[in-house]
Structure 1
Amino acid sequence: MMIPLFFTRLYKRLSLPLTPISIARFFLIGGLTGLLFGCSLVNVEDHRSPLNSQVQEAVDNARATLEKDLGNAVPSLNVLIQTPTQTYFASSIAPGQQPLTPGTNFRFASATKNFTAAAVMKMYQDGWLNYKALITDLIPGTNQPYVPATPDWNIPNKRTITIEQLLNHSAGVYDVDNDSVPGLNKESYVNYVLSRDSTHQFTAEEMLKPIIRYQLNYFDPTKGYHYSNTGYFILSRIIERVYSLKAGQAKTCTDYMYDHITGPASRVPLPIWFPYRANDVQMPQPSVASLIRRASGRQDGFGPVNMSGHVGEGNGYGTMASLNTYIRSLMKGENVLLPQTVKLLQTDVSAANPTYGLGTSYRQNLGYGHNGAIAGYLMTMTYDPATDVSVIAMLPMWDLTQGPNGDTTFGKCFNSMYDAAYAARAALGFPGKP
């Protein structure tokens, strides 16, 4: 039932020059003791238990199959799965590699969109905004619109786009991160800039300049579905403006995430971070560097990454344990959103794509959540209400050695992540791959 969020975008994306970010944006202290807010978040079953051994075997088999398909080594394939009674973790590794732990940090890329959607809907729940409103409407109780009433925000259809449409990708906002921009050698704006200055600090206004200059858009609002990172960058600016007005001082989207969604004062505090400065490129330890293998034989490893061009749509990092706690508690209505608000995340879909709601996708036998891909990382986080099972799967590698621009082997990597997640469920007696 669920189509891969990034597959239709992938073919287009990989036809562009292959830089670490160009592919990435297309489709995100020692074990659990690294969790900043305590190790009680996940109680992982002893690795010697029969059931955990079955999960480990399932993930080992998925990694072995991927290695055979690629004809090359796969550093690791990792799955954390929580059932109604227990949590299991498997890190399948190639010889000479160190296994990951549930507390290993990595970049979870577009899974950030689910957090951004949760933030918007928390503001809606608290009466701070109306997610059905036009982006040109006034923020409740103020004389300020959701987006600036200035020429550098005059994107096509500005006066008919709603916050809801940005959330479910039905606004038609052109994606200057994933798609090529006129005059930039068939590159996206973000790729073009970063390939020439990896330290560049992006702003929302500059991201909109090519859209305004060339009047770029996909369709009129509600007339289709087109995944748009830029649409979520706009949402991050809306969060920033609403929070700044409420706080009476300048705030960022990252400030709101920390203060209300993941930080110590939130309902479920978690060690999850959303860097927005170009110089904030390091993850805390322990972390795993990713790998991109190219047809030329070149291999690139990534750890530090400038995330300032991905605010609100792909700038998050954290651990498998923290993401599991987040998606499980959120989708059960036990985090910052009430059950009725969670239902909106899941069901307020566009007519053109009934499997994508408000920053939330659905995949049969895995449930609700989001996947992500950036700079060599692939991941998915899901919660299935039918079985009360949550799954986090992560592969810190892209293989681009086969197919047009590497799309064949990238697809194999992407699918193997889901194969491992389904296999782990099946190993524990739950419905697996449809």
Structure 2
Amino acid sequence: MVALALAGAGLVGVTAPTAGALGATGPSGVATVTATGTQDGADAGRDARRGVDARALDAAVRGMVDPGGASATLARVSERGRTVWKGAAGTADLATGAPVNPDGLFRIGSVTKTFVSTVVLQLVAEGRLRLDDPVEKLLPGAVPNGRNITLRQLLNHTSGLFNYTEDDLFGYEEDPVRLQEWLETGRFTRYTPQQLIAVANAHPPYFEPGQGAHYSNTNYLVVGQIVERVTGHSWQQEVDRRIVRRLGLTRTFMPDHSTTIPGPHAHGYYDLPAGPADVTEVDPSMAGAAGAGISTTADLTTFVTALIGGRLLPRPLLAEMMAVTPQSGEDAYGLGLQRVSTPCGPVWGHAGGIPGYNTFVYTDSDTRRQFAASVNAFDMSNLPATNAAFQTLLDTGACGGPPPTAPAPATTPAPAPAG
């Protein structure tokens, strides 16, 4: 799972455990969805005039838990940055049966990349970096062939650098003994970016720079180090100063080694034959600038609205960010930004996964509607039901209600195959 978890793609591609990890039953019962208003009479009419169907959104969130197999799901729809609906279903803590808080925090995985790439483009706007600068100039000796890899190629995954999460170091889920060891101690391992980049450097590249596309978390570890070298501050400090504090994102954090989630949250689990294994606490240095962030649906919709609305970047650089590289094909990847097709048209944002958590946040290009969700995948024994529930959640959220047409298959970007 971890080899794909940081890829930030469709739910099953991110979270599906191996067959040996399946078998335990999911949480019993589904908590009532909490929405912004009632769903009867005049209130329902007001929801409709605002362009959202609360009943359909409630059902999509419930469907992600039963039959979708998640232990918890929470989501939010905003219109031009103002919340018009929020909801949650499932159980936040299987040990206590606590209900899910729709305003809770969660790990955002690869959505972190969009924050980091925004900082890089701000530095470009300030003349401190250029997108076509070679990595060897920006971070000498960091990666092989750095003279021929550009900053742009790191951001859009066309560098060819090996994805460190595809190394056997992160392949413990294939071995029950290694998985148990990881659950007991391995998830608290403190990594440096240099250690993880060295893991990637031990493998040959996928292709020559610019000659293909392969989603690689290594790219963003290198980018994080470039930010530090150029600014004299960690990438976390620059994200906090330039984005988090500027937008008032009071519940967004970019931790270094802190293993906890600092506030109310739904727990993340592995579904194992012996019972649920709580994986909420991990050392986020395993993901670093590629996926260490923590946030809420409210903060994420505020962020994506500001970004695509032009508040964080000059328009020419926002256009660069949204220019998807031809090599990415159906993945439709720009500079730390994904374009995803929905029945209501294309949306922009990013998806992410890290053990126990799956996240996505998207907005349409005119920032009329935003949708963010966190899914704690659990029982993946019925993958068709999980896939269908996830597609319904994405399409219903993006459209603010039932899609106008039947959802097209495979609209979420998929990661490159592991191995």
- Given the two structures, how large is their TM-score scaled by the length of structure 1? 0.74
2:316 paired residue number: 340
1:207 paired residue number: 196
Paired-residue identity, %:
20
Q: How does 1:19-418 map to 2 (within 5 A)?
A: 45-47=36-38, 49-50=43-44, 52=47, 55-66=53-64, 69=67, 74-84=70-80, 87-94=83-90, 98-102=99-103, 104-137=104-137, 146-149=138-141, 153=142, 155-180=143-168, 197-213=186-202, 215-244=203-232, 251-263=233-245, 266=246, 269-277=249-257, 280-294=258-272, 296=273, 298-334=275-311, 336-353=312-329, 355-364=332-341, 365=345, 367-386=347-366, 388-401=368-381, 408=383, 412-413=385-386, 416-418=389-391
SS of corresponding position for 2:108: strand
Using a 3 Å threshold, how does the CA distance of structure 1 residues 267 and 68 change in structure 2: closer, same or farther?
Answer: closer
How far apart, in 2, do the equivalents of 1:233 and 1:192 lie? 27
How far apart, in 1, do the equivalents of 2:279 and 2:191 lie? 20
After TM superposition, give the deviation of residue 291 of structure 1 in Å.
2.9
How far apart, in 2, do the equivalents of 1:199 and 1:302 lie? 10
After TM superposition, give the deviation of residue 287 of structure 1 in Å.
2.0
How far apart, in 2, do the equivalents of 1:127 and 1:18 lie? 50
Residues 1:419 and 2:392 aligned together? yes
Q: Is the 8 A contact 1:76 1:395 kept in 2?
A: yes
RMSD of the alignment, in Å?
Answer: 3.6
Using a 3 Å threshold, how does the CA distance of structure 1 residues 121 and 56 change in structure 2: closer, same or farther?
Answer: same
Letter in 2 for 1:287: H
Segments of structure 1 that go 5 or more residues without pairing to the other structure are: 20-43, 138-145, 245-250, 403-407
Q: Is the 8 A contact 1:324 1:391 kept in 2?
A: yes
Residue deviations 1:200-251 (CA, integer Å, cap 9, x gap): 22112211333334x422111111111101111111111111111xxxxxx2
How far apart, in 1, do the equivalents of 2:158 and 2:89 lie? 40
SS of corresponding position for 1:136: helix
Using a 3 Å threshold, how does the CA distance of structure 1 residues 13 and 116 change in structure 2: closer, same or farther?
Answer: farther
How far apart, in 2, do the equivalents of 1:220 and 1:84 lie? 41
Segments of structure 2 that go 5 or more residues without pairing to the other structure are: 1-6, 23-34, 92-96, 409-419
Q: Is the 8 A contact 2:269 2:280 kept in 1?
A: no
Q: Is the 8 A contact 1:168 1:356 kept in 2?
A: yes
After TM superposition, give the deviation of residue 261 of structure 1 in Å.
1.9
After TM superposition, give the deviation of residue 284 of structure 1 in Å.
1.7
Higher helix share: 2
How far apart, in 2, do the equivalents of 1:45 and 1:183 lie? 42
Q: Is the 8 A contact 1:167 1:232 kept in 2?
A: yes
Greater shift after overlay, 347-356 or 110-119?
347-356
Letter in 2 for 1:341: L
Residue deviations 1:20-65 (CA, integer Å, cap 9, x gap): xxxxxxxxxxxxxxxxxxxxxxxx9534521559744223322454
- Given the two structures, how large is their TM-score scaled by the length of structure 2? 0.77
Q: Is the 8 A contact 2:362 2:398 kept in 1?
A: no
How far apart, in 2, do the equivalents of 1:67 and 1:431 lie? 24
Using a 3 Å threshold, how does the CA distance of structure 1 residues 98 and 163 change in structure 2: closer, same or farther?
Answer: same
Using a 3 Å threshold, how does the CA distance of structure 1 residues 9 and 425 change in structure 2: closer, same or farther?
Answer: closer
Letter in 2 for 1:338: P
How far apart, in 2, do the equivalents of 1:351 and 1:170 lie? 8
Residue deviations 1:376-398 (CA, integer Å, cap 9, x gap): 21121001025721111221223
How far apart, in 1, do the equivalents of 2:172 and 2:16 lie? 15
Q: Is the 8 A contact 1:170 1:350 kept in 2?
A: no
SS of corresponding position for 2:289: coil
Letter in 1 for 2:275: R
Q: Is the 8 A contact 1:125 1:341 kept in 2?
A: yes
After TM superposition, give the deviation of residue 356 of structure 1 in Å.
0.3
How far apart, in 2, do the equivalents of 1:175 and 1:385 lie? 30
Letter in 1 for 2:9: F
How far apart, in 2, do the equivalents of 1:191 and 1:311 lie? 21
Q: Is the 8 A contact 1:172 1:226 kept in 2?
A: yes
Higher relative contact order (CA 8 A, sep 6+): 2
Residue deviations 1:316-351 (CA, integer Å, cap 9, x gap): 0011101110001111102x2122221111115243
